[in-house]
Structure 1
Amino acid sequence: MREISLDRLRTLVAISDHGSFAAAAQVLHLAPPTVSLHIAELESRIGAPLVSRKRGNVRPSPIGEVLVERARRLLAEVESTLDDVSRQVQGLAGRVRLGASTGAIAHLLPQAISQLREHHPDIDVQIAVLTSQETLARLAQGTLDVGIVALPQSTVAGLAIRPWRRDPVMAFLPGDWPLPARITPAWLAARPLILNDANTRLSRLTSEWFALGGYRPAARIELNYDDAIKSLVAAGYGATLLPHEAGAPRSDARIAMRPLRPALWRELGIAHRAGEVERATEHVLDALWALKAR
């Protein structure tokens, strides 16, 4: 079955709007014989007359009116689709799929989203809560566009992974505990602990920090949601180690924060597919890079 060309439909609509082949040719910047050819091809494809001539005025036939009505909707949808695609090419709109851990989503990512909405409100960021390994795997598969991952990471073919932020890990402790100025592995290992899930990079960092003092403490509970962990600390259930980003909101007044000795840092990177990226993805990356720790 032969397809119907959009140009032929556009010609039929122009004849319906302007009442003659000559006027349609002028509006469409076509030669009059070309307009006649378009209608002849359409009538051949449909198998019925599409226009009638009465008193020098060309009007659609009853079948032609049905086709004109449908053609208007189809042409409008095509124009809308092309406009949407053009806006995405220009970076004015689009969808960007981003993967990050709950730690990055809690404070850092909302800042970037707020900045992005101010300057590019029609870019839709779809967020998936993933571990760093899941994020990299999905980037490599092409089902994500941007990822926030813990560093260091091994090189992944086809992906660019660059350092983004380096934030201190702090001790978050019940405020009614008697506390030293700095928290050491020996001091903290003797207290009840609330720690990150063992599958996270932060859990491995925490284990390595305790191991510096020769300790391997067991947690009372392991979670992967920072706000839930902080709520338990505020309730006096135990202490935890979490990153603290500059400018982050103050914790619950019932929580005390102390630096660690030796110091511990959480390093994050931004990952995306190597090579040229779409404009919408560039805008998301720009919003994230604006939050780069100095």
Structure 2
Amino acid sequence: MREINLDQLRTLTTIADCGSFVEAARRLHLAPPTISLHISELEGRVGARLLSRTRGQVRPTAIGESLVDHARRLLADVSRVLEDVSRQAQGLSGRVRLGASTGVIANFLPQALEKLAQSHPGIDVQIAILTSHQSLQRLKAGSLDIGIVALPQAKVAGLAIDAWRRDPVLAFLPANWRVPSRVTPQWMARQSLILNGPGTHLSRLTRDWFAHAGQSPVPRIALDYNDAIKSLVGAGYGATLLPHEAGAAPPGDGRMAMRPLRPALWRELGLAYRASAAEPATAHMLSSLRSLGQA
């Protein structure tokens, strides 16, 4: 036996609204025999009469009224679903899953999300704190849409990785320390250090900076939360090496000073996403992020 379909339910509700097979056929742009067939199939599936004629007007039976009520709710739900999917297809709404480090989330995402909200307020961005490796793995698995990752990265099949930003790494120091105008690895290695924990891209970057000068200092403490590191520097606990985003204001903590490095060191970031055509919501988020880049 054939299942009930939406066309049959729409025919039933239209007849209930206008009280006529002929008028229902006109409104639905269907031939009268098709209207009759829809009702016949519905009645056969339900096992009861759904319509009756009273003084020349067609009206639902008691069972028909019950089915009409359910049909109206179902058709309304379908209409809302289609409208929601259509808005997502047009990029007016949707969801974007984004992964990044805590530093990137704190320093860049507020600006990107503000720009996105101005043009596409219906897009929901879900943010996860992830390392570059974790972001690439989730992108490959399909559980992430955009990853902000440290560069360079090896090519990953199915993923695109675009250069995005290049920001200097600076020395962050207690303001009451006597420091040179430019900080070298040799000078920095003699200080108490608070550095990023092993396994992060920034940790490898700073380790190589020291190693090229023949230095291999052991940090006093290793953390992966840059704001916590800066707080400890401001408290005089030690010095650190952290990226400073181009154009960003100096730290508001007057207990902390910044100095450029010699040789200079740069932190590069990229935008990773699946190479296949991005959904509109993801494309809009990428556009907002790219507006903040200067790679």
Tell me whether the two structures share a fold, i.e. TM-score over 0.5.
yes
- Superposed, 1:36-115 pairs within 5 Å as 36-115=36-115
The whole-number CA distance in structure 1 between the counterparts of 2:170 and 2:201 is 15
The whole-number CA distance in structure 2 between the counterparts of 1:268 and 1:3 is 54
| Unpaired stretches in structure 1, ≥5 consecutive residues | none
- Residues 166-204 of structure 1: CA deviation (Å, up to 9, x unaligned): 100011111111121111111111111111111110000
Is 1:225 aligned to 2:225, yes or no? yes
Tell me the equivalent position of 2:198: 198
> SS in structure 2 opposite 1:165?
strand
> SS in structure 1 opposite 2:195?
strand
The whole-number CA distance in structure 2 between the counterparts of 1:180 and 1:2 is 84
Give 1:35 shift. Answer: 0.8
Give 1:3 shift. Answer: 2.1
Task: Give the conservation status (yes or no) of the 8 Å contact 2:169–2:241.
Answer: yes
Letter in 2 for 1:132: S
Letter in 2 for 1:153: Q
Tell me the equivalent position of 1:138: 138
Task: Give the conservation status (yes or no) of the 8 Å contact 2:22–2:32.
Answer: yes
Tell me the equivalent position of 2:164: 164
Give 1:248 shift. Answer: 2.4
The whole-number CA distance in structure 2 between the counterparts of 1:178 and 1:53 is 99
> SS in structure 1 opposite 2:65?
helix
Once superposed, which parts of structure 1, at least 4 consecutive aligned residues long, lie more than 3 Å away?
A: none
- Residues 194-229 of structure 1: CA deviation (Å, up to 9, x unaligned): 111111100000101111221111111111111111
> SS in structure 2 opposite 1:195?
strand
The whole-number CA distance in structure 2 between the counterparts of 1:166 and 1:246 is 8
TM score, norm. by length of structure 1: 0.98
> SS in structure 2 opposite 1:15?
helix
> SS in structure 2 opposite 1:204?
helix
The whole-number CA distance in structure 2 between the counterparts of 1:160 and 1:189 is 38
Give 1:137 shift. Answer: 0.8
Letter in 2 for 1:69: D
The whole-number CA distance in structure 2 between the counterparts of 1:245 and 1:111 is 13
> SS in structure 2 opposite 1:203?
helix
The whole-number CA distance in structure 2 between the counterparts of 1:207 and 1:2 is 70
Is 1:8 aligned to 2:4, yes or no? no
Identical counterparts, % of pairs? 66
Give the aligned length. 294
Letter in 2 for 1:130: L
TM score, norm. by length of structure 2: 0.97
Tell me the equivalent position of 1:179: 179
- Residues 23-66 of structure 1: CA deviation (Å, up to 9, x unaligned): 11111111111111100000000000111110111111111111
Tell me the equivalent position of 2:258: 257
Tell me the equivalent position of 2:31: 31
Tell me the equivalent position of 1:278: 279
Task: Give the conservation status (yes or no) of the 8 Å contact 2:170–2:242.
Answer: yes
Task: Give the conservation status (yes or no) of the 8 Å contact 2:101–2:131.
Answer: yes
Letter in 2 for 1:229: I
The whole-number CA distance in structure 1 between the counterparts of 2:23 and 2:228 is 70
Tell me the equivalent position of 1:153: 153
- Superposed, 1:119-138 pairs within 5 Å as 119-138=119-138
The whole-number CA distance in structure 2 between the counterparts of 1:185 and 1:146 is 35
The whole-number CA distance in structure 2 between the counterparts of 1:64 and 1:19 is 13
The whole-number CA distance in structure 2 between the counterparts of 1:227 and 1:35 is 69
Give 1:253 shift. Answer: 1.6
Give 1:281 shift. Answer: 0.9
- Residues 9-30 of structure 1: CA deviation (Å, up to 9, x unaligned): 0011111111111111111111
Tell me the equivalent position of 2:270: 269
| Unpaired stretches in structure 2, ≥5 consecutive residues | none
The whole-number CA distance in structure 1 between the counterparts of 2:2 and 2:206 is 67
Task: Give the conservation status (yes or no) of the 8 Å contact 2:171–2:241.
Answer: yes
Give 1:249 shift. Answer: 3.9
Task: Give the conservation status (yes or no) of the 8 Å contact 2:233–2:239.
Answer: yes
Tell me the equivalent position of 1:290: 291
- Superposed, 1:200-219 pairs within 5 Å as 200-219=200-219
The whole-number CA distance in structure 2 between the counterparts of 1:51 and 1:223 is 73
Letter in 1 for 2:43: E
